[in-house]
Chains A and B, each alone.
Chain A
Amino acid sequence: MSSQQTISREVVVGIEQGLHARPADLLAREARKWQSRIELVAERQRADGKSILELLTLAAEAGTRLVVEATGPDAREAVDAIGGLFDRNFSEPNSHTQPLVSRPTNE
């Protein structure tokens, strides 16, 4: 049934301080606006996007890649809204203005 569609997209934590309490709060507040089940998927674990407590267990530092995954009738809108928070960097200073690797490597 199309009402149970799953939509996902990759996001990168751009916040210099990592996904700390305030962005986790903003993310959970946004996630709670949608009916869909929303999860943030990291390399080794998944976190309920509607729970600050779970989001904080990701300890996602600047530069971490995560997948936003939503399942439900408004999955696409939910993923767009949450992806948008990451795109706008939760209105915090962006570490991407500085290179993640500070020195060039010879690889």
Chain B
Amino acid sequence: MKFSDFVATDAIRSDVESDTKPALIREMAEALVEAGRLPAAELESIVKAIMKREDLGSTGIGRGVAVPHTKHPSVDRLVGTVAVSRKGIDFLSLDGEPVHLFFLLVSPPDRPGDHLRALENISRQLRDDTFCRRLKASTTPADIEHLLEEADNHGVVT
């Protein structure tokens, strides 16, 4: 699975204002609503579900990355977005590091395979130091969009 299969480019945020986990999750979910990818009427329910998942264990997977996510019946296909925080947010990650890079995913309840393949793609790209560094250094949503395209097509060049 590629980034272009699930990332809503209109909802990408290059410098989030939020400085806490709940605020960041809300900001990203709102971006997906504004981009027309999540129904506004379901915003509260989706934010609540993502926070409930975080309570089970942080989705901060290390290397300054987190993948907050939930299943939700309001979507019929996997939808996601990307956000970058310049100052970093405490996400209670396994390695204790603040998180700068966020991939938020909302998937239909009956498609666990798609969710797994999106996680695979994200984690595979993030093993690449160059990808991480360039994503962290992105200053506009367009920069991030181009970087994701590059990763989709042939991997990232230094």
Q: Tell me the A residues contacting B by CB distance below 8 Å.
A: 16-22, 24-26, 28-29, 51-54, 56-62
| A29→B94 contact, CB < 8 A | yes
| A52→B113 contact, CB < 8 A | no
CB-CB under 8 A from B115, the residues of chain A are 17, 20
Min CB gap A63→B, angstroms: 12
- A22-B56, A25-B57, A53-B127 known; A61-B113 Cβ under 8 A: yes
Bound-state CA distance A6–B33 (Å) is 51
How many residue pairs at the A-B interface have CB separations less than 8 Å? Answer: 60
B133 within 8 Å of A (CB atoms)? no
| A18→B94 contact, CB < 8 A | no
| A59→B112 contact, CB < 8 A | no
Bound-state CA distance A28–B117 (Å) is 19
CB-CB under 8 A from B57, the residues of chain A are 22, 25-26
| A21→B69 contact, CB < 8 A | yes
Name the CB-closest residue of B to A19: B116
Name the CB-closest residue of B to A55: B123
CB within 8 A of A57: which of B58, B62, B69, B123? B123
| A56→B61 contact, CB < 8 A | yes
CB within 8 A of A52: which of B61, B112, B124? B61
